Amino acid sequence: MGIWDAITDLVEAATPWTTADAEAPAQEEQQEETAETKEDESEKTEEATEEPAEEEEAEAEAEEEEEEEEEDEEEIVDPKEKFEEECRESKQCAPAKHHFDECVDRVTNASSSDGPKEDCVEEFFHLAHCATQCAAPKLWSVLK
Amino acid sequence: MTPTEEGLHPTKYPWVHEQWFKTFDHQALRRGFQVYREVCASCHSLSRIPYRSLVGTVLTADEAKALATENEYDTEPNDQGEIEQRPGKLSDYLPSPYKNDEAARFANNGALPPDLSLIVKARHGGCNYIFSLLTGYPEEPPAGASVGAGLNFNPYFPGTGIAMARVLYDGLVDYEDETPASTSQMAKDVVEFLNWAAEPEMDDRKRMGMKILVVTSVLFAVSIWVKRYKWAAIKSRKIVYNPPKDNTTTRF
């Protein structure tokens, strides 16, 4: 956050006319539409020239809607998992990952024998700590 | 305590609303409330939040009224002493999913889902802890880890065995502003909402704090100036002593 952001925030907060509105914003669009329809009724002569433009607009809107639908159909990938996977494979977390993998191998191989029971929770903690630490700023730059 | 008993300490995330000069993102609060209502509210209550406090911060007045009327509340006793049901008003509090703690425990295998009104303040690590807890469920527990019956492995929960299963999955909620509802996005929104629920006064508190800092710093500067002004005559005076010229004669 720059110094100017801080100053503008200060000014905005100190000015008495910044208020939060509890009411829904006024529905201007509908009013405009009704006004347009009235105009259309009164000025029938201009309709002929306006119609083609309106049709084009309608087509454009329809295309946009289709694009949005296509976007929705794509499966959402959780950015957190993506970044953390990248971080786990990165050089930064290589020591933690090495220890964790080694522990998993050891525990899975030793499970048959009657040795002391070991778990990889601590190694998992170290790896998870490293991965989340590395992914945190990247994640926040993506999320809204 | 072993690391397992302690739980994994949550990572510090760069929350925008935790910065000194930043407020809650009310668009995020709105999304977070949607996540609470559609996902969390089936088990967790939010009993300290009345509908009226949602007005102007999360919902508009009309939306909050419509939401309140969806639930029924007890009336005052009528002439015959009977208590009837009436639709909710803005002054009513959000309904709880269970009648009491015992019912909640019974329905959840003995585990009590905590009330979420103050959960951000009530847990060590605050927002970071809750975000990490919600998104931190691994696909399978690490090798050798023991998970109790009816529990799930979560590294951030002290003891790593948590009764709550993972609830947030990608695309669980359809946001009205068409934000892609990834797991982390939902978790971030609901955590910010819960932070608002715990500290609804935060925006006003920060604004008041800034006003106080500005005003007191001006007053402090003025008081310094006044002090220096008043003392100027005293500080800049010069006391001179001219000794009498050497007189060989002494007067008596």
Helix (H) or strand (E) holding A91: none
DSSP summary character for residue B70: T
Nearest chain A Cα to B15, which residue?
A: A140
Candidates A5, A9, A139; nearest CB to B184: A139
- pLDDT for A112 equals 62
Are the C-beta atoms of A82 and A76 separated by less than 8 Å?
A: no
Tokens (6 digits) for B96 = 């709880």
Inter-chain residue contact B144 with A121, CB threshold 8 Å: yes
- CB within 8 Å of A15: residues ≥ 6 apart: none
Residues B188-204: pLDDT tens digits?
A: 999 999 999 999 999 99
Tokens (6 digits) for B184 = 């982390």
pLDDT of residue A59 exceeding 90: no
What's the rounded mean pLDDT across residues B31-48? 95
Q: DSSP letters along B112-180, please? A: PPPP-TTHHHHSTTHHHHHHHHHH---SSPPTT----TT-EE-TTSTTSEESSPP---TT-S--TT---
- pLDDT for A19 equals 57
Annotated binding site of B for heme c: 40, 43-44, 164
Percent of chain B residues past pLDDT 90, beyond the cut = 90
- Residue A75, min C-alpha distance to chain B (Å): 8
Are the C-beta atoms of B185 and B32 separated by less than 8 Å?
A: no
- ipTM above 0.95 for this complex: no
What's the rounded mean pLDDT across residues B165-169? 94
What's the rounded mean pLDDT across residues B66-94? 94
Between residues 133 and 172 of chain B, which touch chain A (CB distance below 8 Å)? 135-136, 138, 142-146, 155, 160, 170-171
Q: Name which of B182, B205, B215, B216 to mutate to probe chain A: the one with the most chain A Cβ atoms within 10 A of its Cβ.
A: B182
- Residue A93, min C-alpha distance to chain B (Å): 15
What's the rounded mean pLDDT across residues A108-121? 76
pLDDT of residue A50 exceeding 80: no
What's the rounded mean pLDDT across residues B234-249? 85
Q: Within chain B, what is the greatest distance between any pair of CA atoms? A: 117
pLDDT of residue A100 exceeding 90: yes
A123 — pLDDT class (breaks 50, 70, 90): very high
Are the C-beta atoms of B167 and A127 separated by less than 8 Å?
A: no
- A142 burial (CB, 10 Å; 0-12 / 13-18 / 19+) is middle
Between residues 71 and 130 of chain B, which touch chain A (CB distance below 8 Å)? none
B chain contacts of residue A136, beta-carbon cutoff 8 Å:
11-14
What's the rounded mean pLDDT across residues A6-22? 72
pLDDT of residue A48 exceeding 50: no
Chain centroid to CA A6: 25
DSSP summary character for residue B152: E
Inter-chain residue contact A77 with B170, CB threshold 8 Å: yes
Per-residue burial over B166-203, b = 16 or more CB atoms within 10 Å of its CB, e = otherwise: bbbebeebebeeebbbbbbbbbbbbbbbbbbbbebebb
Q: Enumerate the β-bridge partners of residue B152.
A: B162
Q: How many CB atoms lie within 10 A of CB A99?
A: 16
- pLDDT for A114 equals 63
* Helix B126-135 × helix B183-198 angle, to 10°: 150
pLDDT of residue B80 exceeding 50: yes
Inter-chain residue contact B210 with A122, CB threshold 8 Å: no
Instruction: Give pTM, 2 decimals.
Output: 0.78
Q: How far apart are CA B89 and CA B176, in angstroms?
A: 25
What's the rounded mean pLDDT across residues B94-116? 95
Q: Which residue has the higher pLDDT, A45 or A128?
A: A128
B179 — pLDDT class (breaks 50, 70, 90): very high
Task: Name the residue type at position B106.
Answer: F
- Residue B11, min C-alpha distance to chain A (Å): 6
CB pairs under 8 A between A and B: 121
Q: Name which of B8, B16, B55, B147 to mutate to probe chain A: the one with the most chain A Cβ atoms within 10 A of its Cβ.
A: B8
Tokens (6 digits) for B128 = 């970071």
Percent of chain A residues past pLDDT 90, beyond the cut = 36
Sign of the alpha-carbon dihedral angle for A54, A55, A61, A64: negative
Residues B123-132: pLDDT tens digits?
A: 999 999 999 9
A99 interfacial to chain B (CB closer than 8 Å): no
Chain centroid to CA B207: 16
Candidates A125, A140, A143; nearest CB to B8: A125
Mean of per-residue pLDDT scores for chain B: 94
Per-residue burial over B53-82, b = 16 or more CB atoms within 10 Å of its CB, e = otherwise: bbbbbbbbbeebbebbeeeeeeeeeeeeee
Q: DSSP letters along B3-20, please? A: HHHH-PPPPPP--GGGST
